[in-house]
Amino acid sequence: QVQLVESGGGLVQAGGSLRLSCAASGSIFSINAMGWYRQAPGEQREAVAIIFSGGSTNYADSVKGRFTISRDNAKNTVYLQMNSLQPEDTAVYYCKVIHTTYSRVTYNVWGQGTQVTVSS
């Protein structure tokens, strides 16, 4: 079993910054990718940023240049630095980890979500 613990959400004014963290713990042989997704009320969940085991990253067009994803491999932790936040960034942000167990089975694990609210 792998558990994810997210932190860092909150309320911020437009133009402000927040940093989200997601720490993975449990029976992890390797982490293939770690990412952040978000879901606004009435909307589908969308990918925000992903970082792969080799360090390459992908970003949604809407956050390019404003958000930065990074990871600490020693701590199995992924971060999302969010700058120049706008009201349209308001959503519940979810961490997702794709990992492989010691028995070589790959799983997708989701965090519990953390609310980010940007006021205008």
pLDDT of residue 28: 83
Q: Residue 104: phi, psi to the nearest 5?
A: 65, 35
How far is Cα 9 from Cα 11, in angstroms, rounded to an integer? 7
**Local mean pLDDT, 10-residue blocks, the chain (120 residues):** 93 98 90 96 97 96 98 95 98 96 90 96
pLDDT of residue 118: 98
